[in-house]
Amino acid sequence: MRSRLRVGLHIVLADGRATSRASDIPALVSRDGRFGERMVRDGFRFFFLPYVRCQLATEIRAQFEAFAATGLALDHVNTHKHFHLYPTVLSLILDIGRDFGLRAMLLPLEAGALDTAAMLDALAHMPAGVTEIYCHPAMPADTPIAPSMRGYRHADELDALLSARVAAAIASAGLACGGFADLFPPRARIR
């Protein structure tokens, strides 16, 4: 039986750990393999410094390869802190992603913390067309990996996703749930 779960690749290029060895991408990470938090500076470096851009491509490819190794079907791609909105990052993701079957990317419009009340409100005011609601759910005992996630309401988002009221609102509105793969089925690759 084919799973209906749609899983995307969340590429991390800031405020997290790299997939590549630090020695392979020294212009991007500290010695312990972590990206910094200075995204504006890094965006300029990606654009203006070819050797940095080359290392960036190495890391993006490594993250696609790590996802492919899971055996999961790639539904979509986005990036931590929406770094793919930077043109150089977006261009590399699109170019490299083609080799891994990339067909959809998230273009964000954030609404803030998502608890049950906010989820019900979003569902009640859902615009026509395709909308993705994404969140970072976690159990209350889990701790955020990134310092930027301190104060984030992970448990509230998990509660919203598991809420019977939310499920009833989705059903009564006749909303179709799924992933980008449901909207953009695989087709022959063009090279």
* Predicted confidence (pLDDT) at residue 17 exceeds the cutoff of 90: yes
Single residue among 50, 82, 107 that ends a domain in this structure: 107
Which tokens belong to 118? 């906010």
CB-based contacts of 86, cutoff 8 Å, min separation 6: 39, 43, 46
| CA-based nearest residue to 20, from 47, 49, 54, 43 | 54
Kindly report, residue by residue over 116-141, the tens digit of the pLDDT: 998 898 888 887 877 778 777 777 66
- Distance from C-alpha of 67 to C-alpha of 5, rounded to nearest angstrom: 15
Question: What are the helix (H) ranges across 17-131?
Answer: 39-48, 50-69, 87-97, 116-124
Total domains in the fold of the chain: 2
Strands 7-11 and 74-79 come out as: parallel
What is the overall mean pLDDT for the chain?
86
Kindly report, residue by residue over 48-87, the tens digit of the pLDDT: 999 999 999 999 999 999 999 999 999 999 998 888 888 9
> Are 93 and 48 part of one and the same domain?
yes
> Are 37 and 84 part of one and the same domain?
yes
Give the CATH number for residue 19: 3.20.20.370
> Are 14 and 89 part of one and the same domain?
yes
- Distance from C-alpha of 78 to C-alpha of 106, rounded to nearest angstrom: 5
Q: What is the pTM of this model?
A: 0.69
Single residue among 90, 107, 124 that ends a domain in this structure: 107
Q: How confident is the model at residue 3 (pLDDT cuts 50, 70, 90)?
A: low
